[in-house]
Amino acid sequence: MYSISKKKSKSKLLAIGDKAPLFSLPNKADEIIKLEDYIGKKVLVVYFYPKNETAGCTAEACTFRDRYELFTKADAEVIGISGDSLESHADFSSKYKLPFILLSDSDNKIRKLYGVKATFGLIPGRVTYIIDRKGIIQHIFVSQFNPKKHVDEALRVIAEINKEN
Protein backbone atom coordinates (compact mmCIF):
# COMPACT_ATOMS: atom_id res chain seq x y z
CA MET A 1 0.00 0.00 0.00
CA TYR A 2 1.46 3.35 -0.98
CA SER A 3 0.71 6.75 -2.34
CA ILE A 4 2.71 8.10 -5.23
CA SER A 5 4.25 11.54 -5.22
CA LYS A 6 5.81 13.29 -8.17
CA LYS A 7 9.27 12.65 -6.71
CA LYS A 8 8.78 8.94 -6.08
CA SER A 9 7.00 8.03 -9.31
CA LYS A 10 9.42 6.35 -11.68
CA SER A 11 6.91 3.93 -13.18
CA LYS A 12 4.54 4.54 -16.04
CA LEU A 13 1.87 5.48 -13.53
CA LEU A 14 0.80 9.06 -13.77
CA ALA A 15 2.15 11.38 -11.10
CA ILE A 16 0.67 13.96 -8.78
CA GLY A 17 0.54 17.25 -10.67
CA ASP A 18 -0.11 15.59 -14.04
CA LYS A 19 -3.17 16.51 -16.04
CA ALA A 20 -5.60 13.60 -15.91
CA PRO A 21 -5.92 11.96 -19.31
CA LEU A 22 -9.42 12.44 -20.68
CA PHE A 23 -11.47 9.41 -21.63
CA SER A 24 -14.92 8.28 -22.67
CA LEU A 25 -16.34 4.92 -21.59
CA PRO A 26 -19.78 3.31 -21.45
CA ASN A 27 -21.69 3.00 -18.19
CA LYS A 28 -23.99 0.12 -17.22
CA ALA A 29 -26.78 1.57 -19.41
CA ASP A 30 -24.37 1.80 -22.39
CA GLU A 31 -24.35 5.61 -22.18
CA ILE A 32 -21.00 7.22 -22.89
CA ILE A 33 -19.55 9.03 -19.87
CA LYS A 34 -16.82 11.57 -20.58
CA LEU A 35 -14.35 12.62 -17.89
CA GLU A 36 -14.22 16.10 -19.41
CA ASP A 37 -17.91 16.62 -18.54
CA TYR A 38 -16.94 16.61 -14.83
CA ILE A 39 -13.79 18.72 -15.03
CA GLY A 40 -14.46 22.18 -13.66
CA LYS A 41 -17.54 20.98 -11.78
CA LYS A 42 -16.51 18.38 -9.23
CA VAL A 43 -13.53 16.77 -7.56
CA LEU A 44 -13.26 13.30 -9.05
CA VAL A 45 -12.40 9.96 -7.51
CA VAL A 46 -11.49 7.66 -10.38
CA TYR A 47 -10.77 4.21 -9.08
CA PHE A 48 -9.62 1.22 -11.07
CA TYR A 49 -10.49 -2.16 -9.60
CA PRO A 50 -9.90 -5.74 -10.76
CA LYS A 51 -13.30 -7.43 -11.07
CA ASN A 52 -16.94 -7.28 -10.03
CA GLU A 53 -18.16 -9.84 -7.49
CA THR A 54 -14.75 -10.57 -5.99
CA ALA A 55 -14.31 -10.17 -2.24
CA GLY A 56 -11.96 -7.16 -2.31
CA CYS A 57 -13.78 -5.33 -5.10
CA THR A 58 -17.16 -5.86 -3.46
CA ALA A 59 -15.79 -4.58 -0.14
CA GLU A 60 -14.32 -1.51 -1.87
CA ALA A 61 -17.50 -0.75 -3.83
CA CYS A 62 -19.71 -1.18 -0.77
CA THR A 63 -17.44 1.09 1.28
CA PHE A 64 -17.71 3.77 -1.42
CA ARG A 65 -21.49 3.19 -1.37
CA ASP A 66 -21.74 3.44 2.42
CA ARG A 67 -19.79 6.71 2.44
CA TYR A 68 -21.11 8.11 -0.84
CA GLU A 69 -23.11 10.80 0.94
CA LEU A 70 -19.81 12.19 2.29
CA PHE A 71 -18.52 12.42 -1.27
CA THR A 72 -21.62 14.21 -2.53
CA LYS A 73 -21.51 16.65 0.42
CA ALA A 74 -17.89 17.36 -0.53
CA ASP A 75 -18.96 18.06 -4.13
CA ALA A 76 -17.11 15.01 -5.44
CA GLU A 77 -18.07 12.23 -7.83
CA VAL A 78 -16.93 8.62 -7.66
CA ILE A 79 -16.21 6.71 -10.87
CA GLY A 80 -15.26 3.03 -10.75
CA ILE A 81 -13.58 1.42 -13.76
CA SER A 82 -12.94 -2.24 -14.51
CA GLY A 83 -12.75 -4.46 -17.55
CA ASP A 84 -16.10 -6.08 -16.73
CA SER A 85 -18.95 -6.02 -19.24
CA LEU A 86 -21.86 -3.59 -19.17
CA GLU A 87 -24.13 -6.43 -18.05
CA SER A 88 -21.79 -7.35 -15.22
CA HIS A 89 -21.69 -3.70 -14.09
CA ALA A 90 -25.49 -3.47 -14.21
CA ASP A 91 -25.85 -6.63 -12.11
CA PHE A 92 -23.11 -5.61 -9.65
CA SER A 93 -24.50 -2.09 -9.26
CA SER A 94 -28.05 -3.36 -8.77
CA LYS A 95 -27.15 -6.16 -6.36
CA TYR A 96 -25.18 -3.85 -4.05
CA LYS A 97 -27.22 -0.68 -4.69
CA LEU A 98 -24.21 1.29 -5.84
CA PRO A 99 -25.10 4.99 -6.30
CA PHE A 100 -21.96 5.98 -8.19
CA ILE A 101 -20.79 5.53 -11.78
CA LEU A 102 -19.28 2.26 -12.99
CA LEU A 103 -17.59 2.26 -16.38
CA SER A 104 -16.60 -0.64 -18.61
CA ASP A 105 -13.03 -0.58 -19.92
CA SER A 106 -13.38 -3.92 -21.70
CA ASP A 107 -10.20 -3.54 -23.75
CA ASN A 108 -8.25 -2.02 -20.83
CA LYS A 109 -7.18 0.99 -22.91
CA ILE A 110 -7.96 3.48 -20.13
CA ARG A 111 -6.28 1.27 -17.53
CA LYS A 112 -3.16 1.33 -19.74
CA LEU A 113 -3.52 5.07 -20.41
CA TYR A 114 -3.44 5.66 -16.65
CA GLY A 115 -0.53 3.23 -16.21
CA VAL A 116 -2.39 0.89 -13.85
CA LYS A 117 -0.24 -2.21 -13.65
CA ALA A 118 -1.28 -5.76 -12.89
CA THR A 119 -0.37 -7.22 -9.51
CA PHE A 120 1.97 -10.21 -9.88
CA GLY A 121 1.51 -9.69 -13.62
CA LEU A 122 -1.92 -11.35 -13.40
CA ILE A 123 -4.48 -9.43 -11.34
CA PRO A 124 -5.63 -6.08 -12.76
CA GLY A 125 -4.33 -3.34 -10.44
CA ARG A 126 -6.31 -1.40 -7.84
CA VAL A 127 -5.44 2.30 -8.07
CA THR A 128 -7.39 5.41 -7.05
CA TYR A 129 -6.78 8.85 -8.55
CA ILE A 130 -8.10 12.04 -6.98
CA ILE A 131 -8.52 14.71 -9.66
CA ASP A 132 -9.26 18.31 -8.76
CA ARG A 133 -11.73 20.59 -10.54
CA LYS A 134 -8.97 21.79 -12.87
CA GLY A 135 -8.33 18.23 -14.06
CA ILE A 136 -5.04 17.87 -12.19
CA ILE A 137 -4.18 14.67 -10.33
CA GLN A 138 -3.80 15.57 -6.66
CA HIS A 139 -3.34 12.09 -5.18
CA ILE A 140 -2.70 8.53 -6.30
CA PHE A 141 -3.26 5.61 -3.98
CA VAL A 142 -2.21 2.06 -4.82
CA SER A 143 -3.14 -0.92 -2.67
CA GLN A 144 -4.31 -4.20 -4.11
CA PHE A 145 -4.94 -5.81 -0.74
CA ASN A 146 -6.45 -2.98 1.33
CA PRO A 147 -9.44 -1.94 -0.79
CA LYS A 148 -11.32 -0.04 1.95
CA LYS A 149 -8.31 2.25 2.50
CA HIS A 150 -8.93 3.72 -0.98
CA VAL A 151 -12.13 5.31 0.35
CA ASP A 152 -10.42 6.75 3.45
CA GLU A 153 -7.61 8.19 1.34
CA ALA A 154 -10.05 9.72 -1.14
CA LEU A 155 -12.09 11.44 1.56
CA ARG A 156 -8.95 12.76 3.28
CA VAL A 157 -7.56 14.27 0.07
CA ILE A 158 -10.91 15.73 -1.00
CA ALA A 159 -11.15 17.50 2.37
CA GLU A 160 -7.66 18.98 1.77
CA ILE A 161 -8.60 20.10 -1.75
CA ASN A 162 -11.80 21.73 -0.50
CA LYS A 163 -9.90 23.58 2.27
CA GLU A 164 -7.64 25.13 -0.35
CA ASN A 165 -10.55 26.41 -2.43
**pLDDT in the model for residue 24:** 97
Residue 5 has pLDDT above 90, yes or no: no
**pTM of this structure:** 0.91
* CA–CA gap between residue 133 and residue 143 (Å, rounded): 24
Residue 3 has pLDDT above 90, yes or no: no
Q: Is 145 exposed, middle or buried (0-12, 13-18, 19+ CB in 10 A)?
A: exposed
Model confidence pLDDT, tens digit, residues 62-83: 999 999 999 999 999 999 999 9
Q: Which residue in 39, 46, 57, 79 is the catalytic one? A: 57
Topology of domain 2-164, CATH: Glutaredoxin (3.40.30)
Residue 43 has pLDDT above 60, yes or no: yes
**pLDDT in the model for residue 9:** 38
Q: What are phi and psi of 156, to 5 degrees?
A: -60, -45
**pLDDT in the model for residue 12:** 60
Indicate if 57 belongs to the active site. Answer: yes
Q: Where are the domains of the chain?
A: 2-164
Confidence of residue 4 (pLDDT cuts 50, 70, 90): very low
